[in-house]
Amino acid sequence: MSERRSKLLMIGMIALFVYFLLPLFWLFVASTKTTGDLFSSFGLWFSKDFSLLTNIRQTVTYDGGVYARWMLNTVFYSVVSAGGAAFLSALGGYGFAKYRFRGNGAMFALVLGSIMVPTTALAIPTYLLFSKVGLVNTPWAIILPSLVSPFGLYLMRIYAQDAIPDGIIEAARIDGASEFRIFFQVALRMLSPGLVTVLLFTLVATWNNYFLPLIMLNNPKLYPVTVGLAAWSSQSVGGGGSTGALLSSVVTGSLLSVIPLIAAFLLLQRYWQSGLSAGGVKE
C-alpha cells in the first residue's frame, strides 16, 4: 500500500517537474531554430536545421554588439550592488547583534518593518529625487537603491548571533584588538557562509530587476539585459520589416541571459537554502 502511495507521489512530482522545466526546454529548442522554423515546426521539438550558433552570432552582433554590453552592464550592476549590500548588511547585522546601544531595538524594528515597503512604490519617488540631483541615467541610479537590503540585514543579524560566540569577541578584546580589527579578522570569516547567502539573494534581485532600470535609464548603452530584451521584444511585436531577425534574437538573448544565474544556482545550492531557512523558520 505504501508502495502505491509513493508511486502516486512520484507521478505527481513528475507532472510538477515537467510543468516547471518545459518552458525552459522550449526556450532552448526555440533558440536552435531559424525564424522560419520557429513558425513552421512543432514548438517542443527540434527542427532539421540546428542554427543555435548562427542565432547566437546574430544576437551578439546585432546593432553593434549592444547585447554583450547589456550583459556586461547587468553583471556590473549586480556584482557591485550585491557586494555593497552584503558588506553593509554584515557590518550592520554584526553591530545590531553584538552591541548594546541606545535605540538598538527601535532602529532594527524600523528597518525590519521596511521590508513591507514595496520596492516599486519606492521607485517612482526615488526617480523624482534622483532627477533633482542629476543621478538619473547614470549607473548610480541602479546601484545606490540596490545597496539597501533590509532582509539582508535581518539575515546577517541572526547569523551573527548564532555563529559568533561572545567569548571569542571578549578574548580578542583582552588581547588588545580594536573593535574593527575584531570584525575584519575574526568575525567576518565566521560570517562568510551567511555573507554568501545575502550576496546571492541581492545578486538575483538586481540581476532580475526591471522596473527600476526601466524608469531610471533611457540611454540604451546603460540598459541591463532585462530592459534591453523588453525593448527588442516590443520592436519585434511592433512591426516593421526586420521583425523576423529580431524575434529569434529575443529568444536566443533570453536563453543566454538565464544561463549565468542557473549555473550560479546549481553551484551554490546550499547557500540559498540556508538563507531561506533562516528567513522562514525564525520569523
Partner 1 sequence: MRRLASSRARRSVDPSATGYLFVAPFLLVFAAMLVLPLGYAAYLSLFQDRLIGGTVFAGLDNYVTALQDDRLLQGVLRVAKFFAFQVPIMLAISLLAALAIDSGLLRFAKAFRLGIFLPYAVPSVVATLMWGYLYGPDFGPVAQLADKIGAAAPKFLSDGWMLSSMANIVTWEFTGYNMIILYAALRAIPHELYEAAAVDGAGPWRTAWSIKIPAIRPALLLCVIFSVIGSFQLFAEPNLLQRLAPSVIDSAYTPNLYAYTLAFTGQQVNYAAAVSFLLGAVIVIASYTVLFLTNRRSKR
C-alpha 92/C-alpha 242 separation (Å) is: 52
Q: How many residues bind partner 1 (CB under 8 A)?
A: 103
Query: Cβ closer to partner 1: 73 or 89?
Result: 89
Where does residue 231 rank: exposed (0-12), middle (13-18), buried (19+ CB within 10 A)?
middle
Verify binding: residue 207, partner 1, rule CB under 8 A.
yes
Out of 68, 79, 88, 112, the residue judged to bind partner 1 by CB under 8 A: 88
CA 271 – CA 283 distance, rounded (Å): 19
Q: Return d(Cα 206, Cα 211) in angstroms, integer.
A: 11
183 lies in the binding site for partner 1 (CB under 8 A): yes
106 binds partner 1 (CB under 8 A): no
Is 211 one of the binding residues for partner 1 (CB under 8 A)? yes
Query: Which residue carries 540546428 as its cell?
Result: 50
Is 89 among the residues that bind partner 1 (CB under 8 A)? yes
Give the rounded distance of the alpha carbon of 269 from its chain centre: 14
Q: Which one of residues 102, 134, 240, 267 is an interface residue with partner 1 (CB under 8 A)?
A: 102
Q: Which of 79, 98, 161, 244 contacts partner 1 by CB under 8 A?
A: 98
Write the DSSP assignment of 72-88 as a string of letters.
HHHHHHHHHHHHHHHHH
- Per-residue mark of binding to partner 1, 157-176 (x: CB under 8 A): ---------x--xx--xx-x
Interaction of residue 11 with partner 1, rule CB under 8 A:
no
Report the candidate in 225, 230, 229, 192 with the shortest Cα–Cα distance to residue 77.
225
CB of 57 to partner 1, least distance (A): 20
- Per rule CB under 8 A, is residue 86 in the interface with partner 1? no
